Amino acid sequence: MINEIKTDAEKRMKKSIESLGVAFAKIRTGRAHPSILDSVTVDYYGSTTPLSQVANVGVEDARTLSIQPWERNMVGAIEKAIMASDLGLNPSSNGNTIRVPMPALTEETRKNYIRQARAEAEGGKVAIRNIRRDANGSIKDLLKEKEISEDDERRAEDAIQKLTDKYVAEVDALLATKERDLMQV
């Protein structure tokens, strides 16, 4: 019983870390990275489709993304979708390929991105703490129904706390890495 609760809590905490990694990938640094455009959707024959499903997105150089649409008539729609996104990017095309230069980050935008990263990290920590609360609640329910002893309850709660501390430290490490990336000029 207790092991099931612990493994479930650990799985959910790992998913929180993965989710945080995805959120951090969307916060752009000064370097070009294809994941910056993950949130862009394109109108593809009447349905909204993720950009990655209508074109190849690659890195041309450190500050430029290149987008190669699979259909030539999609170039205009892709350009419009990138401009309409809140990423602050200005694409340009030569008819077949779209190039997206990454503007240099100013000190102010870097600070805003760091603020956004810290908010995402705090959200990750809250999610991990909520998972801890749920697991401890399940353990208390087992104690109420006399399925475990008080010593087992205490040991299980300590184990859940160690898991929580481990994953909160992982969130802090991811945040520190992201802040370092953002502050690199």
pLDDT for residue 93: 87
CATH code for position 70: 3.30.1360.40
The residue behind tokens 């353990």 is 139
Q: 42 and 17 in one domain?
A: no
C-alpha 135/C-alpha 9 separation (Å) is 6
How many residues can be counted in the chain?
A: 185
Q: How confident is the model over 108-122, as pLDDT tens digits?
A: 888 888 999 999 999
CATH code for position 132: 1.10.132.20
Average pLDDT across the chain, whole number: 88
Last residue of a domain, which of 101, 118, 140? 101
Q: 175 and 124 in one domain?
A: yes
Q: 22 and 46 in one domain?
A: no
The segments of the chain whose pLDDT lies below 70 read 29-30, 185
pLDDT for residue 127: 95
Last residue of a domain, which of 48, 71, 101? 101
Q: 110 and 95 in one domain?
A: no
C-alpha 127/C-alpha 47 separation (Å) is 33
Last residue of a domain, which of 82, 101, 120? 101
Q: 162 and 122 in one domain?
A: yes
For residue 57, the surrounding DSSP H or E stretch is strand 55-61
Domain span at residue 18 reads 2-26+106-183
Q: Measure CA 53 to chain center.
A: 19
Q: How confident is the model over 28-43, as pLDDT tens digits?
A: 766 777 878 888 889 8
Q: What is the pTM of this model?
A: 0.73
Q: How many domains does the chain have?
A: 2
